[in-house]
Amino acid sequence: MASEILLGKTVLISPFIGAVIVSILAFLHYSRGNKHEGHDSGKHDTHEEHTSIHYTRFENVVSTFGILSILVSWLSMVLLAINYLPGEEHETLQSQFGFFGFKEGGTPDIPFGLLIDPLSVYMGLIVTTLALLIHIYAREYMHGDAGYSRFFATFNFFTGVMLTLVFSTSFLELFIFWELVGLSSYLLIGFWFYKPAAAHAAKKAFLYNKIGDITLLAGFLMLYRYTRTLDFVELPAKMEALTDQQIAIVAVLIFGGVIGKSAQFPLYTWLADAMEGPTPVSAILHSSTMVKAGIYMVARVFFIYYEAHDGHNVFAGAEWALTVFAWIGAITALLAGLQALVENEIKRILAYSTVSQIGYMAIALGTGGKTAAMFHLLSHATFKALLFLTAGAVIHAVHTNNIWEMGGLRKKIPKTFWPMLIGATALAGFPGFSGFWSKDAVLLAAYESKVPGHLVIYYLGALTAFITALYSTRFIYVVFFRTPDPEHKEHVEKAHDGGFFLTTPSIILGVLVLIESILFIPVFNFEHWLNEILEPEVKPEAINYVVAGSSAIIVLLGIFVGLVLYHWKPELRTSLYNIDAFNWIANEFIAKRYRIDQVLYWIANAPVMWVAGILQSIDLKIIDRTIIDTWIVKGSLQLAKISDVFDQGFIDGIVNGVWQIFLYFGRQFRKLQTGLVSNYATIFAATLVLFLTYVNFLVLFK
Amino acid sequence: MSEYEIVIKSFMPIYILIGGSILSLLMDWLLNEEKNKHALPSITLLTLLLSAFSVWNRPDPALFPGNPAMFYFGSYYVFFALTSIAASIIVVLAAWKDMELELSLGVFYALLMLANIGIFVIGASNNLIPLYVGFEVLSISTYAMIGFRKKSRSGAEAAIKYFLLGALSSGIILFGMSLYYGATHTLQMNSTVAAALVSSGSSPNAFGLFTMAVLVAGVSFKIAAVPFHVWVPDVYRGAPLSVTNFLAIGSKAGGFAFLFKLFFVALLTIKAGWAPVWAGLALLTMVIGNLAALPQTSVTRILAYSSIGHVGYILIAMVAFADGSTELAVVGALYHILANVFMKGTAFVVVLIVVLTKGGDTLDDFKGLGKRDPLVAFFMSIALLSLAGVPPFAGFFGKFFLFYAAVDSGNMYLAVVGIIMSATSLFYYARIIHVMYFYEPVDDASDQSQPRFLVLLVALLLANLALSLGAIFYTRSIVDFATQVAQEFFV
């Protein structure tokens, strides 16, 4: 036990140490008079400046330390998993290195520390493995960037923060690191902050996340009020004492946080904009960290929704929250899938596909399939990291993001093509590949669940599976098989594979996806094993051949339709786009993100504008019309008439003189004025009178 | 120890401050300006540190003579005395550069020390007379400090404004106190004397209600609760920036010390009467303070409105206290007041640095600060995130305690509004950060590095982090301390 705690601490601390070392190295480097990141250093603009041997040596040192620290973390994570996971009984280990509690003499109610249980070990293994591969990839990908050391410091910090979130032992600790994940992703998405799009995307990600965080904070505050503890170990036992209403409040507030962080409808548009960050950032954000944090958190606090000792019994209060969540997942999966179908930028296609796949996980959680969700999380994390890394390599090779400016790259960059093909096949859910098994588990959970309307959710999920297969076929075909357009032929010709660090991680990931695909075959009982370690209290579902068979058919159909539309009969696509309604839906509605941003903006803005409008109309109507029109304008007209009579030379002079004097004093006193201070004093006095009146009423009507 | 000795030792911090202020006035007269530029702030720092040391080494407060004793130098006193010294040290280090060109600097530092005396006396009083005297000492020295830059018109205007309105509020407070005396026939504050304010049961009688209404109005001015906040933006903008800093962190803490003494001790019996009033004011203050900050373009004004918003959060503690979550409310209020010293202090020091180099405090002047002076921009960002309540900085824990106190005492609505408003506040804080990092500098003004400022900013950041680590690892000690403070209220 002691060794496991020690390993766990190493897992968490090592990335932070890496971040510190990198920062110190950068400090030494720049304080020796080396040129700092300039005012206008764009990645490509100053490429020459930052390829000097000296800078490259600095890069190598920085990345070596960055990668080493993650390697240490990964190694200790693997050792921890080897020590911990095998065997029958999995004791929950907790090490507190601090606590946060109000009760006198009692046990600490909000511990800070390390929680080792199968869920956190499983998740930690995914995070460290992918982080390690992506770090290795970034070593070459970021080469020549002016902010190389800044990147590695932030990236290490981000990894450490995410790992600490995973191993959090109380809700408050989880929330703090949840916010830090948001903060460091802000820094990473806005890494090229001199690009306005990146700066904007970073801000948007931060603010959209923040909306979710508000409800999350309110949710666990309420939970603390009801149970008097935020300890993940103690909480499950206390949940049964709560009333339905209390559970409902907590359940729905916590889902609010997930919607923001895990990019669910309607707060998912930030994730596509977040593509402005460097590709390694997208890869880690989408595969194992950040967006998965929401899914992980729900799995962690699943006892709020389902009774801890009997996972089949849903709390009556949580039922509708779960239903809503499953529906949101289904809608998100479908909407984002459609959007991936019309998107032209390769990274954005993958971003929407992530949103869509997380929708699947939300479906699984909402319909009670914690195992299915974590299962899909694993397979998605692997193939999505693979897809992003290869997409980065493709962009690296052809220097464009738009898939229609690529084509026929299959022969040019084979070391990128084969891994990407494997990843896309898994994403499409081709029968036998990892994505197929995990998606099948999700669909099965929806199919067998007791949630109202679960069959509709299942059908929506199946439809999304079709769309997923379709868009996977689309981008693979367009990028690798299609004959490139003549005007883009030139850079396609020049394309070549990246170096060792750029290709190796993708190849490793490709192999991993293949291994997973084999491991997930029901014969090897992976899902049952997962079920046993994650929720031993729940009996696993038997494989349902109807669901599995139909999803296999759906996927094959999707790939077939894709090939028809893009390979065999491309003219069919043209005729489809010639239909006005179709064209409008694709280009004006879906491609413009269903106008979600505008609607959200309107919702946020309308009440403010409404109040402002009222205030303005008061200003216009009452002050302008009444006072100025009636009294001042008419009054002065009268005055003018009278003064016209008097206005005979000498009066003019006096009036002017007096006016000048007043104006002078007015200018002098305008700020010191009796006016403003007395206004203030009037406000005070009026409020005091208000208080006294209030008190008076209290006295009189007691 | 004889009684005489106890009195002397209890008052020692105050004597030291008086000595320091006389010394600095003498130095103003004896030494030339060139020497005073550095000698005066050094002397002030030394005096403050000495005074802090003797606050720490105070004799047992229970031994203080008198029955009932007029002063009680307990935990409450220690907290506010040390907070005000911390705030003053920040102000001195900032004023060192900010005020160096002013004439008769000795007066300025003497006033600063006198203001501290005011806060000390408020913290220790058990009686309305010293309480009021302390309050006035604090107020009058701040009036003079605001108008200290004699050639600045905006400074003079701010001073006059603050003075006129302050005089009005002092009058209102005095009226409230005389009502209190009329009802209770004593000026001693303790929870039993105030029984005269209560009719049968626990509801306040007419006397109690009127006393309460008048005192609420009077104190609200000092702490700048809406609608008594109107002076804040003008005065903060007009005063010299180091004085603004003191108003926002030191004088504000003094105002809260006064508020808590009055309401938690003197008016404790009629808490059923004032709780709803403070609840309304807290709501108004949170909402209006944070909304009004949104359209501002001057960073000083943004910070001014944000500190109004923070007053709203702290006022939640009043309601939670009245509704039974005594210790939590005290934890929240005291923790947030202390956190405010470090985060708001940092923010105003950075504004000062920008004003010294760029000559203005608008968002335009902050453009490109991230490139001009990355360290300063970094400290500013941390301070702003802390103010917005982003963990793991101290501001988050302050709000967490306060909101939790609200939830715990059954006032969920206050926590909800607070959480929504602190999310809203992120918009205007993020705007400053955005401007600092994502814009090019308007011109090539290179900032002269001010090592003294950097040391101060580092210290403030460390203090902020120490405070948040304290919240995580020493919660129990914090709660114990607050329990002690709360027990002092119920003597």
What is the predicted ipTM? 0.76
Q: Tell me, what's the pLDDT at A635?
A: 56
Contact state of B214 with A692 under an 8 Å Cβ cutoff: yes
User: Which of A154, A223, A695 is most worth mutating to test chain B (most B CB atoms within 10 A of its CB)?
Assistant: A695
Average pLDDT estimate for B200-215: 79
User: At residue B135, does pLDDT exceed 90?
Assistant: yes
Local confidence band at A608 (pLDDT 50, 70, 90 cut-offs): low
Q: Does B185 touch chain A (CB under 8 A)?
A: no
The confidence band for A675, taking pLDDT boundaries of 50, 70 and 90, is: very low
Top pLDDT among B14 and A321 is at B14
pLDDT at A637: 56
Any idea how long chain B is?
491
What does the pLDDT read at residue A150?
Answer: 85
CB of B391 less than 8 A from some CB of A: yes
The CA-based dihedral angle spanning residues A189, A193, A194, A200, taken in that order and rounded to the nearest 10 degrees: 70
Cβ-defined contact of B277 to A196 (cutoff 8 Å): no
**Is A595 a residue whose pLDDT tops 50?**
yes
Average pLDDT over every residue of B370-380 = 84
* A591 or A311: which leads in pLDDT: A591
**CA B202 – CA B272 distance, rounded (Å):** 8
Cβ neighbours for B20, distance < 8 A, ≥ 6 positions apart: B43, B44, B46, B47, B48, B50, B51, B110, B113
**How far apart, in whole angstroms, are the C-alpha atoms of residue A410 and residue A644?**
92
**Is 60 exceeded by the pLDDT of residue A422?**
yes
Question: Do the Cβ atoms of A683 and B230 come within 8 Å?
Answer: yes
- Of the candidates A112, A217, A688, the beta carbon closest to that of B472 is on A112
**Hey, which residues 96-135 in chain B have their CB within 8 Å of chain A?**
none
State the average pLDDT over residues A72-95: 82
Q: How many CB atoms lie within 10 A of CB A557?
A: 14
Token output for A463? 């439809």
User: Is A493's pLDDT higher than 60?
Assistant: yes
Q: Is A620 on the interface with B (CB under 8 A)?
A: no
- Tell me: pLDDT of A237 over 70: yes
Q: Indicate the DSSP class of residue A112.
A: E
Say yes or no for a CB contact (<8 Å) between B438 and A196.
yes
Please say if the pLDDT value at position A679 is more than 50.
yes
Does residue A225 register a pLDDT over 70? yes
- For residue A672, which residues of chain B lie inside 8 Å, CB to CB? 156-157, 160
**Chain A residues within an 8 Å CB radius of B369:** none
Which of B143, B212, B229, B434 to mutate to probe the A interface, most A CBs <10 Å?
Answer: B434
**Rounded CA gap, B434 and B432, in Å?**
5
B328 with A102: Cβ contact below 8 A: yes
Contacts of A98 in chain B (CB under 8 A): 472-473
For residues A294 and A646, the model is more confident at A294
From the list B205, B217, B423, the residue facing A684 with the nearest CB is B217
Shortest distance, CA A545 to any CA of chain B (angstroms):
48
A224 CB neighbours in chain B (<8 A) are: 404, 407
Residues of chain A with pLDDT > 90, as a percent, come to: 11
For A672, residues 6+ apart whose C-beta sits below 8 A from its C-beta are: B156, B157, B160
Average pLDDT over chain A, rounded to an integer: 79
CB-CB: which of B206, B228, B430 is closest to A687? B228
For residue B308, which of B420, B220, B406, B407 has the smallest C-alpha distance? B220
pLDDT at A306: 82
* Chain B from 293 to 322: CB within 8 A of any A CB: none
| Chain B (188-247) residues lying within 8 Å, Cβ to Cβ, of chain A | 203, 205-206, 209-210, 212-214, 216-217, 220-221, 227-228, 230-231, 234
Does residue A226 sit at the B interface (CB-CB below 8 Å)?
no
Buried b (16+ CB within 10 A) or exposed e, A162-177: bbbbbbbbbbbbbbbb
Question: Residue B371 and residue A691: Cβ atoms within 8 Å?
Answer: no
Distances (CA, A) of A633 to A130, A624, A627, A637, B243: 75, 10, 9, 6, 45
Top-confidence residue, A129 or A663: A129
Of A193, A196, A677, the CB nearest to B164: A677
**Interchain CB contacts (distance < 8 Å): A and B:** 134
A165 close to A11: Cβ distance less than 8 angstroms: no
Record the pTM. 0.76
Give me the mean pLDDT over the A609-630 stretch.
Answer: 52
Percentage with pLDDT > 70 across chain B:
96
B368 CB neighbours in chain A (<8 A) are 39
Which range has the top average pLDDT, A569-583, A676-690, B50-64?
A: B50-64
Mean predicted confidence (pLDDT) in A412-428: 88
pLDDT at residue B311 in the model: 95
B83 — pLDDT class (breaks 50, 70, 90): very high
Interface test with A, best of B419, B428, B433 (most A CBs within 10 A): B419
| Chain A residues touching residue B217 (CB < 8 angstroms) | 684, 687-688, 691
pLDDT for A634 equals 58
**Position A683 confidence tier, pLDDT thresholds 50, 70, 90:** confident
Rounded to whole angstroms, the Cα distance separating A52 from A56 reads 6
Q: Mean per-residue pLDDT for B196-209?
A: 73
DSSP 8-class letter at A412: T
Rounded mean pLDDT, A642-647: 49
- Distance, in Å, from the CA atom of A389 to the CA atom of A394, rounded to the nearest integer, reads 9
Q: Contact A672/B157, CB-based, under 8 Å? A: yes
pLDDT for residue A314: 77
Rounded percentage of chain B residues whose pLDDT exceeds 90: 40
Q: Give which of A170, A195, A221, A227 to mutate to test B binding, by max B Cβ within 10 Å.
A: A221
Contact flag B438-A194 (C-beta cutoff 8 Å)? yes
Tell which of A217, A229, A245, A669 to mutate to test the B interface (max B CBs under 10 Å).
Answer: A217
Least confident of A58-67, B86-95, B133-142: A58-67
Q: Give dist(CA A546, CA A394) in Å, integer.
A: 39
A193/B437 touch (CB, cutoff 8 Å), yes or no: yes
Give, rounded to a whole angstrom, the gap between the first and last alpha carbons of chain A.
66
Q: How many helical (H) and strand (E) elements, i.e. helices and strands, does chain A have?
A: 27, 2
- In tens, the pLDDT along B421-479 reads 888 788 788 888 888 887 777 665 555 556 778 888 888 888 888 888 888 778 778 88
Q: How far apart are CA B216 and CA A687, in angstroms?
A: 10
Q: Which residue of A has its CA nearest to B431?
A: A203
Residue A657: pLDDT over 80: no
CA torsion angle B451 B457 B463 B466 (round to 10): -90
Q: Which of B227, B391, B416 sits opposite A683 (nearest CB)?
A: B227
Residue % of chain A over a pLDDT of 70: 82
Segment B72-76 long-range contacts (CB within 8 Å, at least 24 positions apart): B72/B124, B72/B126, B72/B488, B72/B491, B73/B10, B73/B124, B74/B484, B74/B485, B74/B488, B75/B481, B75/B484, B75/B485, B75/B488, B76/B123, B76/B257, B76/B260, B76/B261, B76/B485, B76/B488, B76/B489
Tell me: the pLDDT tens digits for A277-320? 888 888 888 877 888 899 999 998 888 888 776 666 778 778 88
pLDDT of A448-460, one tens digit each?
887 778 888 899 9
Task: Decide which of A296 and A344 is more confident.
Answer: A296
Mean pLDDT score, B474-489: 85
SS3 B28: helix
Of A102, A203, A681, the CB nearest to B168: A681
**pLDDT-based confidence at A30, cuts 50/70/90?**
confident
> One-letter amino acid identity for B392?
P
Question: What is the predicted pLDDT for the residue at A535?
Answer: 80
pLDDT at B205: 77
What is the pLDDT, as a whole number, of residue B335? 94
User: Which uninterrupted H or E stretch holds A95?
Assistant: strand A93-99
- The mean pLDDT value for A9-17 works out to 89
Are the Cβ atoms of B479 and A102 closer than 8 angstroms? yes
A221 to chain B: closest CA residue = B404
Using the beta-carbon criterion (under 8 Å), do B154 and A194 form an inter-chain contact?
no
Best A209, A680, A692 residue to mutate vs chain B (most B CBs within 10 Å):
A680
Higher pLDDT, residue B75 or A86 = B75
User: Helix %, strand %, coil % for chain B, to 5?
Assistant: 80, 0, 20
User: How close B202 comes to chain A (CA, Å)?
Assistant: 13
**DSSP conformational letter for A595:** G
pLDDT at B228 over 90: no
